[in-house]
Amino acid sequence: GGSGTQSPNYVATFNNPISWGSPSGGNYTLTVPVSTHGKGLNPIVQILELVGSNYESILIKHTINPSGDIIIQVSQSPDLRFNGKIIVSENN
């Protein structure tokens, strides 16, 4: 067997408050549809927070729905929105 070819990771930055949209049910939500990240139904997701001029890896709850969309939710009160980056790769 040989190694398969993997397409480049999907990488995007997001900004507080613009990217998070309006609150609903006590949470702000940021969604990256499968049609945007293009990494299928079982992607590997890494979320980073902008701290000063550096991005730091954080542990934050996120969901991948049956369609492959990635959903990140944070509390509205206290307001936990942040500036960050998401990296999505294929799960081979």
The answer, yes or no, to whether residue 10 has pLDDT greater than 60, is yes
Q: Give 70's pLDDT tier (boundaries 50, 70, 90).
A: very high
Residue scoring higher pLDDT (2 or 3): 3
Closest CA to 6 of 44, 56, 62: 44
Instruction: Compute the average pLDDT of residues 61-75.
Output: 97
Alpha-carbon separation of residue 49 from 41, 73, 75, 92 (angstroms): 24, 14, 16, 26
Eight-state DSSP code of residue 42? S
- Tokens 């934050």, located at residue: 60
Instruction: Compute the average pLDDT of residues 12-28.
Output: 96
Residues in contact with 66: Cβ distance below 8 Å, sequence separation at least 6, in sequence order: 41
Query: Residue 15's pLDDT is what?
Result: 97
Instruction: Compute the average pLDDT of residues 29-45.
Output: 97
